Amino acid sequence: MIITNFSKQRNEFKESKVLKTKPHWQGQNLSDTAVKGKDTKMQDPAPDSLILNNLNRGRVAIFIDGLSLFHTALQLGIEIDYVKLLCHLTSGSRLLRAFFYTGVDISNEKQQGFLLWMRRNGYRVVAKELVVPSENFKKSNLNVEIAVDMITLSPYYDTAVLVSGDGDLAYAVNAVSRMGVRVEVVSLQTTTSESLIDVADCFIDLDSIKVHIQKDSNLGYSYRTASNSNL
């Protein structure tokens, strides 16, 4: 297991009166005091959950690159349990928002059912319609949406958890870090950009936490399609 963890001193957190209401599923309220500490960078042999539980992370915002996570799960040979994932990334802290960014095929009813399930289980889904470029395969990049949300919401959270290994997001991570936000990057180390790891306060290898976030083989999700669900 590889966990790189270091803290940066930040300004005192000042929370606006908006976005204060906490949905019932967000768990225990913790202090909104900012995370402070000495500048260190080291590999810690302790479990990542122990590291996060020993930190006062304040209010947490989670930003998940859905396509990146999907490909990582394929590489690890697991299926993600998104309820477990949300609980593990929050790790007992107070959750502000959990965003899930993904390309969407409007003709795919199974995907529509999955995204509806995500919305009803703690995630804010940010979807962009898939496009077919000249190579004749569908793709969608939501890095701009992730970067804009990270920056515009930064006054309202203390810790950002970014689930992506894309180096294009390093500038956005650096920008929110300069605002005093602690940034944790969660991704597969072998496919994560070094530039992204370098600007993060903490890096957690998804391979080291897969047992905590994978779906149990005897359980399944009950995804309902848009056609048989009442919105």
Residue-wise pLDDT tens digits, 146-164: 999 999 999 999 999 999 9
Average pLDDT, the chain: 78
Q: Mind listing the pLDDT tens digit for each residue in 58-114?
A: 999 999 999 999 999 999 999 999 999 999 999 999 999 999 999 988 888 888 999
181 exposure class (CB count in 10 Å sphere: 0-12, 13-18, 19+): buried
Where residue 120 falls among pLDDT bands split at 50, 70, 90? very high
In the chain, % of residues over pLDDT 70? 66
pLDDT at 204: 96
Burial 111-134 (b: 16+ CB within 10 A, else e): bbbbbbbbeeebbebbbeebeeee
Weakest mean pLDDT among 76-80, 133-137, 140-144, 160-164: 133-137
Q: In terms of pTM, does the model score above 0.75? A: no
Q: 184 or 49: which carries more pLDDT confidence? A: 184
How far is residue 163's CA from residue 99's CA, in Å, rounded to a whole number?
Answer: 10
pLDDT at 139: 54
Average pLDDT in the 7-32 region? 41
Average pLDDT in the 125-137 region? 70
Residue 33 has pLDDT above 80, yes or no: no
